[in-house]
A = this chain, B = another copy of it.
């Protein structure tokens, strides 16, 4: 899914680029959905985008500030998911913390 929300700059993005170790792991899917639901309840959460193509994926969550990102990283349920991510689910991932300085959009109204 893609975010169409209008967010007030500046805000922060956590870019999570990943390669999964195995496809179609049921526990992964359950935990992944749960983490999105949980993230959405966190203070400072703005929105999330997620695209998957076979074993590769990009998930970008948007946040008001660095403190909100820090709190989310240290959330106890999220910490458990991070542990399984390393031991079982991911072959590789990279996380980038970025400050969104500017954004603009195009929509074809036809």
Contact = CB atoms under 8 A, between A and B. Distances in A.
Interface of A: 1-4, 13, 15, 17-19, 21, 49, 51-53, 56-58, 60, 85-86, 90-108
A70 B98 CA distance: 18
Given A86-B106, A99-B101, A106-B86, A94 B53 contact: no
27 contacts: A2-B92, A3-B17, A4-B94, A13-B13, A13-B15, A13-B98, A15-B60, A17-B49, A17-B60, A51-B56, A51-B57, A51-B58, A52-B53, A53-B53, A58-B60, A85-B106, A86-B106, A90-B106, A90-B108, A91-B108, A92-B105, A93-B106, A94-B106, A97-B102, A98-B100, A99-B99, A99-B101
